[in-house]
Amino acid sequence: MSSNPMLVGHLSTGRTGPIQAHRGAERSRSQNEDSISFREVLNQQQLKFSHHAEQRLQQRGIQLQPDQLTRIANAVDQAAAKGAKDSLVLFRDIAMIVSVPNRTVVTALDGQSMKEHIFTQIDSAVVVS
């Protein structure tokens, strides 16, 4: 995996207990199930940034640390649990529009850019503490 700080996630297969040997087709099927499960977990846990959002973050000098990204991802999880589709996520002096089902930050604004800005086409707002 790359060390891209824009990706967030804690991966786990969710399996515990003793390791058991598998034979033939059983082993292939089990590995296939593990691969699908791993991909699903990866897709559910990571927070992505669109090209546009990455450009805005760079232009505005916004850098997010891994712990901050985790807090933002947790806020997206909370929005998803409430059925949100497009959320305004407020973190410190940063506003982000997030496509919740895709777990993708669409755009980002700093405090200066937010002044007199109207946010449209959102169905929720989450304040990250």
Q: Give 109-113's long-range contacts (Cβ < 8 A, gap of 24+).
A: 109/56, 109/60, 110/60, 110/61, 110/62, 113/60
Eight-state DSSP code of residue 61: T
User: pTM (2 decimals)?
Assistant: 0.65
Predicted confidence band at 45 (pLDDT cuts at 50, 70, 90)?
low
Q: pLDDT digits over 47-106, tens only?
A: 999 999 999 999 988 899 999 999 999 999 999 999 999 999 999 999 999 999 999 999
112 has pLDDT over 90: no
The two tokens of residue 50 are: 């669109």
| C-alpha–C-alpha distance, residues 68 and 84, integer Å | 21
Give the angle 30-42-72 at the CA atoms, nearest 5°: 155
When the pLDDT of each residue in the chain is averaged and rounded to a whole number, the result is 76
Q: Which of 93, 61, 65, 91 is nearest to 76 (CA)?
A: 91
